[in-house]
Amino acid sequence: MSGQGRRGKSGVLFDLGPIDGGQFAGVVLNRPLDQVLTYRIPAQLVGKISPGQRVRVPLGRGNQSTVAYCVSLEDGPPEGFDPARIKDILEPIDAAPLIDGPILELTRWIARYYLCSWGQALDAVVPAGVKKAAGTALRTFLIVPEEVRNASLLPDLPPKQAEVLRTLLRATEPLTLNDVCRLAHCGPGPVASLRQSGLIHTVKQRMPRAAPGESLFADEFTVGGSRPKLTPEQVEALQGMAPALDAEGPAFQPFLLHGVTGSGKTEVYLSAIERVVARGREAIVLVPEISLTPQTIRRFRRRFDRVAVLHSHLSDSERHRHWQAIAAGEIEVVVGARSAVFAPARRLGLIVIDEEHEGTFKQETVPRYHARDVAVKRAQQLGIPVILGSATPSLETWRNAAAGRYTRISLESRVGGRPMPHVELIDLRHEKPVPGQPSLGLSGPLVRAMEKALADGGQVMLLLNRRGFHTFIICPSCGATLKCTACDVALTFHKARNQAVCHTCDAEFRPPDACAACGNSRLHYGGIGTERLEREVKSAFPDRIIRRMDSDTMRAPGSHEKVLAAFKAGQVEILLGTQMIAKGLDFPDVTLVGVINADTALHLPDFRASERTFQLVAQVAGRTGRGNRPGRVLVQTFCPEDPAIRHAAHHDYLSFVNEELPRREACALPPFGRVARLIVRGPEPEAARNYLNLVADALRKEASPEVRLMGPAEAPIAKIRDLHRFHLQIRASSPAPLHDAIRAVLPQFPVPGELELAIDIDPISVL
Ligand code: ADP
Ligand code: ZN
């Protein structure tokens, strides 16, 4: 298949070039059906259907009209097929392919690697707005056919008709009936007469509804912002990447840019992108959704003319417009969250993944892909470099670098010789609550540090990774905790709403007057969430301006940006919140960061619990000391000896990995082994358990001996939305035996109607 399609004339996505023959098409469906189906292309549609385009096909005995993606064209039916039994394609849905050859290949890789169907992978790649052609309208244009256009002599016509014809012949762009009547100062009559005599024709075309020429780009951002002189470390980093960035031929090379917080990684990305843009190539920058702040976006818009930002608040038609602009080669840099890895750039020269360790790059619905790994695959297919940047790289990436698969480049010091902030651990076991007061979020040392930082004119950030007021409601008499009726999850009390809320399914319950189990009427409310912390901070610092940032206070679109802007401008003195405040922010006046409870993620039954804790503490500590004043970090914990917390306190990534890697290796866990997780959900626990037992028995018999099973067992969260959950972990040293085992066994056990099966390759969450 030709990968280098030309740009469609109407600006519509991909034209894969002339395709010879092709009376048969292979199509795939957006269903868990892993098969390419063959259809005949009826004579009148030959040449109008190509791979990457959607078509309608008759399916099954009832010939139900079904949407499918064309993935290949063939001159004959597959071997052994009776041509007489092959059905005809009904019609094309898109005028041109939605995706090009390389992305079609990428989706095939995704389907094979993540064990979903090709159609499911394809459907996830094309945004809904593009599929609906949102923001466009089908419009009718008048055209003059070639033979009339080329005729040396035009027939004698009544003056109005002659004027219409002249107008159309002069036109440099397609004109509608309205346009023509306006320009030729006539009514529709003369146009109709011309159509009748065959001197003009009509054609229908999809056109953007927005006024042509309207800019995609906010003009508040001006290009040409100052370009700092790179530090020697940054120069060296860039030199290490230069051969791959400047290569004219294939130059696949993954780089791990490991730089401490504030070491100037973003500046390195910008310079690297400048090099590829200067050669007429494009770049994709993936960031966690939460980092898509105006601050980040501004940095890119200051340096590049044409930046498309793909965030989750775009409307369908905006997304469609961006996609079209990217596909048409009008964009230099695409900045976006996870799904931007599929941006249809045609001359891609570089992919950057910032904060590559972030779990949000993994999609938790089918296809369950990891955008970082897809980015590396896409770079490999295209023969281009890819940069994975982080202060706290995932152990998978670290190991890939250690094994020589990725090139490691480090930035070891902060820009401007700024010191790393000093981190102190506060051992909560020794912090006695003030007599007469319930145990609260702020320890004595933290309150004193806040007073001092604020008195010196600094700003304070407080991290607590739990929202709500009380994090549990328990009956002190029988010990029952209040749980969601649909999920196996303790409810969180939200005081402002006066509701007990399930953070898994969002159900809300009126707090009960008495324990449902034993009738005791004095329930105990315990634990502290951000809502309660806010109240405590307000009462300790009544004269300070305080803002809370969590998904409860940040519901309205734009509220996140508003608070950050106020904080940046110094109008907020204390910013407290969940991990929303931990990521990528750069505020020079923050001189104190407090971590209210470093242990929130530490004790989860998840093999990455330690890694997550290390990352969170190290990242939030990195938010301070970024300006001219040194920063200070106080970390409250019940486990000050825990390696994750101890090493994060010393900004000591190496010691952390050196301690954590052997533990993973001993259990053959990632990055040393691979995990696939099967999750079965169903209304009846027995049925779900039995199904998984059958699968596990077959896997034990049929999988290669190096494949090991953990489970089946009840999942740590045993019930969500009234569905009971069981899981099975399948482990091996490499992906192939996992894939083989699952592919061999699962088709023997069709999933019973009332159950749902999810296959998660390289799972990020194992709850
Ligand atoms: P990171 O992405 O590693 O956290 P940034 O790229 O955000 O680091 O840089 C941290 C701060 O230092 C930012 O304010 C940035 O503008 C500034 N900075 C980065 N590189 C330079 C440089 N070479 N000269 C001056 N300031 C720089
Ligand atoms: Zn629930």
pLDDT band at 214 (very low <50, low <70, confident <90, very high): very low
| β strands within 277-412, DSSP E | 282-286, 307-310, 333-336, 348-354, 385-390, 407-411
Nearest in space to 752 (alpha carbons), one of 670, 677, 694, 699? 694
> Ligand 1: distance of its center to the CA of 204 in Å?
51
Q: Whose CA is nearest to atom 15 of ligand 1?
A: 264
pLDDT band at 172 (very low <50, low <70, confident <90, very high): confident
Q: Is 263 in the pocket of ligand 1 (CB under 6 A)?
A: yes
Q: Is 295 in the pocket of ligand 1 (CB under 6 A)?
A: no
3-state secondary structure 582-598: CCCCCCCCEEEEEECCC
Residues 6+ apart with CB under 8 A from 2: 16, 17, 101
Res 210 pLDDT > 70: no
Res 7 pLDDT > 70: no
State the Cα–Cα distance between residues 219 and 89, nearest whole angstrom. Answer: 46
- 458-502 confidence digits (pLDDT tens): 999 999 999 999 999 999 999 889 999 999 999 999 999 999 999
- Tokens 């049929």 belong to 702
Q: Which is the closest atom of ligand 1 to the Cα of 391?
A: 3
The dihedrals phi and psi of 334, each to the nearest 5 degrees, come to: -105, 120
Q: Is 225 in the pocket of ligand 1 (CB under 6 A)?
A: no
> Ligand 2: distance of its center to the CA of 689 in Å?
21
Q: Is 389 in the pocket of ligand 1 (CB under 6 A)?
A: no
Domains of the chain (ranges, CATH numbers)? 24-131 (3.40.1440.60), 136-208 (1.10.10), 232-415 (3.40.50.300), 422-469+528-663 (3.40.50.300), 674-761 (3.30.70.600)
> Ligand 2: distance of its center to the CA of 311 in Å?
28
Q: Whose CA is nearest to atom 20 of ligand 1?
A: 264
Pocket mutation for ligand 1, best pick of 226, 267, 354 (most atoms within 8 Å of C-beta): 267
Average pLDDT over residues 122-148: 82
Please tell me the number of the ligand nearest to residue 420's CA.
Answer: 1
> Ligand 2: distance of its center to the CA of 606 in Å?
21
724 within 8 A of 683, measured Cβ to Cβ: yes
411 within 8 A of 237, measured Cβ to Cβ: yes
- The reported pLDDT for the residue numbered 271 is 97
With vertex at residue 554, the alpha carbon angle to CA 553 and CA 556, rounded to the nearest 5 degrees, is 115
Quick one: angle between helices 101-114 and 118-125, nearest 10?
130
Q: Is 298 in the pocket of ligand 1 (CB under 6 A)?
A: no
Average pLDDT over residues 101-114: 96
State the Cα–Cα distance between residues 122 and 107, nearest whole angstrom. Answer: 6
Q: Which is the closest atom of ligand 1 to the Cα of 229?
A: 23
Res 201 pLDDT > 90: no
Pocket mutation for ligand 1, best pick of 265, 415, 626 (most atoms within 8 Å of C-beta): 415
Q: Is 390 in the pocket of ligand 1 (CB under 6 A)?
A: no
> Ligand 1: distance of its center to the CA of 446 in Å?
29
Q: Is 259 in the pocket of ligand 1 (CB under 6 A)?
A: yes
State the Cα–Cα distance between residues 193 and 430, nearest whole angstrom. Answer: 94
With vertex at residue 688, the alpha carbon angle to CA 683 and CA 691, rounded to the nearest 5 degrees, is 145
> Ligand 2: distance of its center to the CA of 600 in Å?
20
> Ligand 2: distance of its center to the CA of 111 in Å?
31
- 647-670 confidence digits (pLDDT tens): 999 999 999 999 999 999 998 899
With vertex at residue 676, the alpha carbon angle to CA 119 and CA 393, rounded to the nearest 5 degrees, is 100
Q: Whose CA is nearest to atom 10 of ligand 1?
A: 262
- The reported pLDDT for the residue numbered 225 is 57
Average pLDDT over residues 68-88: 86
> Ligand 1: distance of its center to the CA of 571 in Å?
23
> Ligand 1: distance of its center to the CA of 408 in Å?
20
Q: Is 538 helix (H, G, I), strand (E, B) or coil?
A: helix
Q: Whose CA is nearest to atom 8 of ligand 1?
A: 264
Res 217 pLDDT > 70: no
Sign of CA dihedral 385, 389, 395, 401: positive
All residues with CB under 5 Å from ion ligand 2? 484, 486-487, 502, 504-505, 507
Residue with more model confidence, 97 or 12: 97
Res 390 pLDDT > 70: yes
Length of the chain: 767
- The reported pLDDT for the residue numbered 125 is 92
- The reported pLDDT for the residue numbered 5 is 34
Res 370 pLDDT > 60: yes
Q: Whose CA is nearest to atom 25 of ligand 1?
A: 228
Q: Is 261 in the pocket of ligand 1 (CB under 6 A)?
A: yes
Highest-scoring range by mean pLDDT, 60-69, 307-316, 435-444, 615-624: 60-69
Burial class (CB in 10 A: 0-12, 13-18, 19+), 213: exposed
With vertex at residue 92, the alpha carbon angle to CA 86 and CA 98, rounded to the nearest 5 degrees, is 120
- CA distances from residue 753 to 683, 688, 699, 744, 756 in whole angstroms, order as listed: 11, 11, 22, 21, 8
Res 253 pLDDT > 80: yes
- 678-706 confidence digits (pLDDT tens): 999 999 999 999 999 999 999 999 988 99
The dihedrals phi and psi of 388, each to the nearest 5 degrees, come to: -105, 115
- The reported pLDDT for the residue numbered 748 is 93
The average confidence (pLDDT) of the chain is: 88
Q: Is 529 in the pocket of ligand 1 (CB under 6 A)?
A: no
- The reported pLDDT for the residue numbered 433 is 63
Q: Which is the closest atom of ligand 1 to the Cα of 261?
A: 4
Average pLDDT over residues 633-647: 94
- 300-313 confidence digits (pLDDT tens): 999 999 999 988 77
Burial class (CB in 10 A: 0-12, 13-18, 19+), 718: middle
Q: Is 265 in the pocket of ligand 1 (CB under 6 A)?
A: yes
Highest-scoring range by mean pLDDT, 34-43, 114-123, 433-442, 510-519: 114-123
Please tell me the number of the ligand nearest to residue 238's CA.
Answer: 1
Pocket mutation for ligand 1, best pick of 234, 238, 266 (most atoms within 8 Å of C-beta): 266
- With a pLDDT cut of 70, the percent of the chain lying above it is 93
State the Cα–Cα distance between residues 347 and 277, nearest whole angstrom. Answer: 10
